[in-house]
Chain A
């Protein structure tokens, strides 16, 4: 039980740092969203694993990862595809393809949980293609 229930944005950020599990869904204006989404990304491992989506009227939507373009590792098969992959999963859910979304997400989480083929930013030594291949293998096994 939180002794001090947050009643505004700054208190929410404190509550988020002390006990993020007390929160479920949060809705807010633009600037607070900018701050809180980055704060929460920091809590779960950073922008390399955080998916996002931008929803407009009539179901028009763009899903994207919000990390940088990382020009220093571009084209070297080193990048972590998790953020973009999970954004893709969000997209599949938006399109109603829940089975596919569930399978890919589960495979991705299992690969990360196993810690055998992680990319460098997650503490491993594997290539992006190896990480991806492992996820694909799991998806196949789930079928």
Chain B
């Protein structure tokens, strides 16, 4: 097969750059190199029962359930061959049973779409954030967010097009804290060579696949000399294997300052967990808010799609005012991952047309439309493009 041949020829190309470690990288990323659309290096799970995929759906808390219902409506309307296996996770419980069920379901199906699960601060420290547990159990090591200015949305800065790749499993989110002396808490931030190389490799490969020119590593290595220093060192090592891509680095506080004054200078950014969280939120704010940006979490074997900034939106739940854009675009990313590209393009175009041409906006971006009105507009556009839709 042509794909197989492509891997072999790429292997021959990569070997001179350093045998051992990169050899393993090729093994892990072998399938990534063959499929330019398939970022996680995984072949989508085989469709079962006559061409239909099964995807795990976790409604989550806040606005998650209602928005995911809208996603299902749009999918049904567009005759997307995806069936959802709904798994509920109750954030109030201290037991892990429902989380384990969710994780098992995702292992079974390989792909999931989720709303954010609330992390209650009142639960004891031993109870980890559920979203975090999901990411680490499934080893979803790369969180990818594509921040693009949308012409229909009023923002201070325009022409933003930034891809943020955030290490998703370690760093400050290792949940390792102890209080050896009362009133003195120590937290462990974990940075490993393995995970840093892995995320850097992901970032550079993604940059190359998407034809991007520059990767910027964000860090605080002047203070955390060993931790962030290791991360930076790993990025530099990986960069040497991609001479066609410019690599530079920037300290995180300067990065946020540059982002709010001149965001157009950034292309692809890679960083450890906490800085990724901060930078993602800044960028989401720059392009118009949390209701607009989809996010994806990729591991070697699984992929989970959600909004980029993980808000539950508790205060606006059930009021028909939430913005469905982020979750709809996330579901399109999922469809691309399942190689249902036609459906993905059709829904994505309808969402963007409603946003940029019809200019039907929800309150969070200054409009007066309800969630339902926006969804109905999207479905109208899908229908008018002449694709096969169901009568509802």
Contacts and interface: CB of A to CB of B under 8 A. Distances in A.
Interface in A1-25: 3-5, 9-11, 13-18
Interface in A57-92: none
B261 interface: yes
A3 B277 CA distance: 20
Contacts of B285: 13-18
Contact of B282 (A17, A31, A37, A47): A17
A3 to B, nearest CB: 5
Nearest to B319: A3
B8 interface: no
Q: 5 tightest A-B contacts by CB?
A: A17-B285, A42-B257, A38-B253, A14-B281, A39-B256
Contacts of B321: 3
Contact of B281 (A11, A42, A46): A11
A13 B256 contact: yes
Contacts of B252: 34-35
Given A13-B256, A35-B253, A18 B315 contact: no
B289 interface: yes
Given A13-B281, A17-B285, A4 B260 contact: no
Interface in B272-311: 274, 277-278, 280-282, 284-286, 289-290, 309, 311
A43 B285 CA distance: 13
B220 interface: yes
Interface centre among B253, B254, B363, B364 (most CB of A within 10 A): B253
A76 to B, nearest CB: 24
Given A13-B282, A35-B252, A35-B253, A3 B363 contact: yes
A11 B253 contact: no
B316 interface: yes
Contacts of A36: 256
A35 B311 contact: no
Contacts of B254: 38
Contact of A11 (B220, B309, B363): B309
B interface secondary structure, majority: helix
Contacts, number: 78
A41 interface: yes
Nearest to B258: A42
Contacts of A14: 281-282, 284-285, 289-290, 309
18 contacts: A3-B316, A4-B289, A4-B290, A10-B277, A10-B280, A11-B281, A11-B311, A13-B256, A13-B278, A14-B282, A14-B290, A17-B286, A34-B252, A36-B256, A38-B254, A39-B253, A43-B260, A46-B261
A25 B254 CA distance: 22
B290 A42 contact: no
Contact of B278 (A5, A35, A47): A35
B97 to A, nearest CB: 27
Contact of B260 (A9, A17, A37, A47): A17
B313 interface: yes
A84 to B, nearest CB: 18
Interface centre among B220, B257, B309 (most CB of A within 10 A): B257
A30 to B, nearest CB: 9
A118 to B, nearest CB: 17
B281 A35 contact: no
Contact of A10 (B257, B261, B278): B278
B327 to A, nearest CB: 15
Contacts of A41: 257
Contacts of B282: 13-14, 16-17, 39
Interface centre among B254, B256, B277, B313 (most CB of A within 10 A): B256
A18 B153 CA distance: 13
Interface in B120-172: none
